[in-house]
Structure 1
Amino acid sequence: MMENGPLVVETLPYRPGPAPAMPSTHIDSLAELDRLEWHVGQPGDPADLVERFLTGHRLGAGALHPTHRPPTPAGGAAVGATLFVSAAAGATMIGAPPGPPSPAAAVPDVVVVVYRHRPAPPPAAGTRPADWWLGPWQPSWTPRAHAAAVTAARTAIGRGDIYQVNVVGHTSARYTGDPVPALTRLGRLPGARYGGVLTGDGWAIGCASPETLLEARGGRLLTRPIKGTRPATDTGRAQLLASAKERAEHIMIVDLERNDLARVAATGSVRVDELYRIRRWCDLWQAESTVSAHAADGLGLADLLRAICPPGSVTGTPKLSALHQIAAHEPVGRGAGMGALGWVGPDHIDLGVTIRTAATDGERVHVWAGGGITWDSDPDAEVAEAAAKSGPVRAALAPTTG
């Protein structure tokens, strides 16, 4: 195990099921080799810690530089890693306020789990459906308080402090039993491009995210911001295509993502490959664009993380000003929500935004959901949109029978 002071914990038992964005060729064939965990408030810069840890395992660099050819992993060597960066860690990377404390304090703000090939599958593990019990959901704020935060965001927009900001709510429920089977069900939701589970000592994260924060391979960088939501009906699709408010909000975030990539891209290489494509996630239509660039010479993973974290589509623009608004108006921290989670291989990085994500600590299941606020936002409609986004996640976590 790599020595890195108190930030490295002992290897934990491998849990069944793929991690988000893990290549299909690796599913059911890996075992944990090494792990880094970090919480906001601990020593060190999280971006630098992640880069040093992954570089020590010869992971990530080949994705950023087309001439870099990582060696073929030898027996027992690292073949890839799961990377999680919370919204609070991303804010810390760029000198912004991390926001209120997370309601799921057991979940680290940075996790890197490095994997190696294993010779044989681990013993099968499972639980009876009756082992999983979930209590009633208890939001951290009332619909009226959520609507008031939307109104405060509109006031800040009116003052010119920001152009757009995401307002995110949180709800939680007590549970008993093993949470991993329930969290694994999230990865089977329609459109869950980053479906999977990440676990640790006393905590777990389950993801059903459709949104790409970053793909990198051979020096090409790509992000697919999602902004704009309607019910997945013919009428909803027509409304999303026709909505001037949703399109304006979406284009603001596309511009923010262009600026984020431009900070680490070769001059003149940033482009919008696709604008305002309508995609489906569960029972919702969402608008997605694709922005790409070529990595600047000598780009390292730490600088890349500082450019893209926390994700622009779930913060707002300008990003630093939006983060100050978020810290001032959201009642609890974003925990596992609105961060980055995915795969880092020797020559490929694929990270999703942790929307449509749940986390568990020793007692409760936590879910976060929200939406982008502009001057034209209606507070009650924004509260309803957040509920529509969290609904499929909460339904998937409900106990099953049979």
Structure 2
Amino acid sequence: MRKNGPTGVETLPQPLIDVPGAPPSCRGVLAERARYEWRPADGGDPATLAEQFLAAHGLDLTDLARPATHQPTGVCGAALYVSAAAGARMIGAAPGAATPAPALPELAVVVYGHHPSPPAPPAPPRAARPGPGWWLGDWRESWTPRQHADAVTAVRAAIARGDVYQVNVVGHAAARYLGDPRPALSRLGALPGARYGGTLHGDGWAIGCASPETLVEVTDGRVITRPIKGTRPATAAGRRELLASAKERAEHVMIVDLERNDLARVARTGSVRVDELFAVRRWCDLWQAESTVSAAVADGLGLADLLRATCPGGSVTGAPKLAALARIAALEPVGRGASMGALGWVGPGRLDLGLTIRTVAADADRLHVWAGGGITWDSDPDAEVAEAAAKAAPIRALLATG
């Protein structure tokens, strides 16, 4: 294991634990107890390693169907971050291009206990460079709009051949910065619709999330996912267009079917159901269509098997999942880094992981953002490029203000 103790002791614990899904009543009194970071060179299966590390530090998640209660003393729970690349590794899928932010681990597990009083404010992490204030440079895209559109056309050709039904195509951009990135990353959680707003920090890296999408939640004996597919401007006309779009509905239902199949692998037989279909909800200045799929947790289901069933999320891969991941690996010029993975909280009686769309990563001198969308036969290449830009726009605007 790369690290199995608190990392960056000069910077941790944070004065307020801001991990998505952490118990609100505990956030002011949490202190880091142990940490594990994994990269592909370390070898092994990240799902199994995460489960084993948690068990070794007082969080036995080998049977999620077994009732458990949060204790006000001792170990509270853990932050869990899984990159898209780690998710692909878990299921033996194509690894994709190299990450543009190698300072970040592909898996991070941070165990927290209760501290008797709020810890003192830390010094800035190594990712924060000294300077007179916040400065963010120009964004540099990893591909041009034309290259992005060409990737959409290539996916449509693969659909025509019968290789895939849908593929999610994602672009990346990076910008240099000066100052401390943590305040800007923390503010992402205040964006409208950011159900998984929060941050996670390490030695030389940080992640900020404003995701509206549930990858997987386990509560009261049920496992839940809430896939999002379908986007329009948050206007009255945009809402009507989204509800009336046959293309968006077909794309959405395809992913709902994929998620039903994923949950069926870890559920009691016959218990999978669609609780809500194509509900329109708002994130910033966009309408998005969301469904809720749930199932009864099978006896003996452990965290590792749950991660292998749900990662990477179907709404950011496509269908069939393995074939879509192969197309993604062939088309995208850089890896997905902190995006299109999972970030959230695991603990006794509580598991809630958001899918890391609308997510930013910071390394020593650059911020990284990713955005994309699902491609079907009816997709228009130029419209898909515009949709990705619209998803990234609120994130970029907030970061620019520091």
Higher alpha-carbon deviation: 52-61 or 312-321: 52-61
Give the C-alpha shift of residue 95 in structure 1. Answer: 0.3
Is 1:6 the counterpart of 2:2? The answer is yes
Give the C-alpha shift of residue 119 in structure 1. Answer: 1.8
Q: Which of 281, 287, 290 is equivalent to 2:289?
A: 287
Partner of 2:231: 229
TM-score, normalization by structure 1: 0.94
Judge conservation of contact 2:145–2:385 (CA < 8 Å) in 1: yes
Q: Cα RMSD (Å) of the superposition?
A: 1.7
Judge conservation of contact 2:194–2:211 (CA < 8 Å) in 1: yes
Higher alpha-carbon deviation: 270-279 or 212-221: 212-221
Deviations 1:328-375 (CA, angstroms, capped at 9, x unpaired): 000000000000000011111000000000001111000000000000
Can you give the 5+ residue segments of structure 1 that lack an aligned partner in the other structure?
none
Secondary structure of 2:336's partner?
Answer: coil
Secondary structure of 1:148's partner?
Answer: helix
After TM superposition, the structure 1 = structure 2 runs for residues 303-382 of structure 1, keeping only pairs within 5 Å, are: 303-382=305-384
After TM superposition, the structure 1 = structure 2 runs for residues 2-401 of structure 1, keeping only pairs within 5 Å, are: 5-8=1-4, 10-12=6-8, 13-17=12-16, 18-59=18-59, 61=61, 64-65=64-65, 67-69=66-68, 72=71, 74=73, 77-124=74-121, 131-400=133-402
Give the C-alpha shift of residue 124 in structure 1. Answer: 3.6
For 1:237 and 1:341, how far apart are their aligned partners in 2?
29
Give the C-alpha shift of residue 273 in structure 1. Answer: 0.3
Give the C-alpha shift of residue 55 in structure 1. Answer: 2.1
One-letter code aligned to 1:185 = R
Secondary structure of 2:98's partner?
Answer: coil
For 1:167 and 1:71, how far apart are their aligned partners in 2?
39
For 2:68 and 2:394, how far apart are their aligned partners in 1?
42
For 1:60 and 1:167, how far apart are their aligned partners in 2?
36
Secondary structure of 1:267's partner?
Answer: coil
Judge conservation of contact 2:7–2:202 (CA < 8 Å) in 1: no
One-letter code aligned to 1:72 = Q
Judge conservation of contact 1:63–1:216 (CA < 8 Å) in 2: no
Judge conservation of contact 1:63–1:219 (CA < 8 Å) in 2: no
Judge conservation of contact 1:261–1:308 (CA < 8 Å) in 2: yes
The verdict on how the C-alpha distance between 1:150 and 1:98 changes in structure 2, with shifts beyond 3 A counting, is same
Judge conservation of contact 1:194–1:352 (CA < 8 Å) in 2: yes
For 1:14 and 1:282, how far apart are their aligned partners in 2?
31
For 1:388 and 1:313, how far apart are their aligned partners in 2?
18
Deviations 1:155-204 (CA, angstroms, capped at 9, x unpaired): 11111000001000000100011111110110110110000110000000
For 1:105 and 1:6, how far apart are their aligned partners in 2?
15
Secondary structure of 1:41's partner?
Answer: helix
Deviations 1:247-305 (CA, angstroms, capped at 9, x unpaired): 00000000000000001110000000000000000000000000000111211111110
Give the C-alpha shift of residue 63 in structure 1. Answer: 7.7
For 2:188 and 2:358, how far apart are their aligned partners in 1?
8
Can you give the 5+ residue segments of structure 2 that lack an aligned partner in the other structure?
125-129
For 1:288 and 1:158, how far apart are their aligned partners in 2?
27
One-letter code aligned to 1:8 = N
For 2:249 and 2:68, how far apart are their aligned partners in 1?
41
What percent of counterpart residues are identical?
67
Judge conservation of contact 1:62–1:346 (CA < 8 Å) in 2: no
Judge conservation of contact 1:60–1:301 (CA < 8 Å) in 2: no
Equivalenced residues, count: 393
Judge conservation of contact 1:182–1:396 (CA < 8 Å) in 2: yes
Give the C-alpha shift of residue 129 in structure 1. Answer: 10
Secondary structure of 2:373's partner?
Answer: strand
Give the C-alpha shift of residue 70 in structure 1. Answer: 5.1
One-letter code aligned to 1:40 = P
